[in-house]
Amino acid sequence: MSFGDPNNPYGQQPQGQQPGYGYPAAPQGVPQQGGYGYPAAPGVSPYGAYPGGPNQIPQSMPGLLTTARVFLYLVSAVQIVMGLALLYFSAAVSDAATIYDDGGFIGDRVAEAGVFGIITSLIILGFSALSIILGVKFGNGGQGIRITTVIYGALGTIVGAIYLFAAIDTGLASAMIFPLIWVVFAVIITLAPVVPSGTAWFARPRY
């Protein structure tokens, strides 16, 4: 068996013989094409483009969202303390109105104040639960959590601003501290899901 034999599969192929499958070899200096004569397409992420960079998918929670998450937990702690304190005080007022009810106007107003306080405390505790849920859902929540957080933060900003303006009218610096902190927290909670990094985080693919 000769190495020059064209039928020898182990021998050197003659010069100019074409490669298998009937496709000619690419000329020297010409880049190889993609399969079956089509040029190779550039790599494209199957998830599309995200804010903050082309085809960039956030791998960890952005810093501003992490800060907003911590603020939500702090707000929930304050709401729990306020809600429980108001609930206890309102229940005590309601009990006092029941025990010392004289059937007059003052007794009725005290009883109504106790009921109103109990309802308000339950609303505050409900908001504390919402704050915790939003903070927990930051890790795997989608657009629904993002929109709810923005609305929740905006409402908190409005309420805090009202109290801040009322405190400014008093002229007491000590009265301005708590509303000012509340407004700062609420603004950050509102903005964190809106900035490009926050939008990309809530729009990222999940498996």
C-alpha 148: how far from chain center: 9
Whether the pLDDT of residue 128 is over 70: the answer is yes
Confidence of residue 129 (pLDDT cuts 50, 70, 90): very high
The predicted pLDDT at position 54 comes to 43
Instruction: Note the pLDDT tens digit of each residue in 166-177.
Output: 999 888 888 889
Query: Do 153 and 186 meet the contact criterion of CB atoms below 8 Å apart?
Result: yes
Amino acid letter at 84?
A: L
Query: Do 113 and 98 meet the contact criterion of CB atoms below 8 Å apart?
Result: no
Query: Do 79 and 120 meet the contact criterion of CB atoms below 8 Å apart?
Result: no
What DSSP character marks residue 33?
P
What average pLDDT does range 43-71 have in this prediction?
68
Burial of 78 per CB tally in 10 Å (0-12, 13-18, 19+): middle
How many angstroms separate the CA atoms of 83 and 77, rounded? 10
50 DSSP β-pair partners = 53
- Could you give the 3-state DSSP secondary structure of residue 148? helix
The predicted pLDDT at position 184 comes to 95
Q: Which residues of 150-165 are buried (b: 16+ CB within 10 A; e: fewer)?
A: bebbeebbeebbebbe
Higher pLDDT, 159 or 16: 159
Its pTM stands at: 0.68
- Could you give the 3-state DSSP secondary structure of residue 23? coil
Query: In angstroms, what CA-CA distances link 202 with 9, 36, 64, 175, 192?
Result: 59, 40, 13, 37, 11
Instruction: Note the pLDDT tens digit of each residue in 74-94.
Output: 999 999 999 999 999 998 888
How many angstroms separate the CA atoms of 170 and 99, rounded? 37
Q: Which two tokens stand for residue 109?
A: 């107003």
Neighbours of 74 (CB within 10 A): 14
The predicted pLDDT at position 170 comes to 86
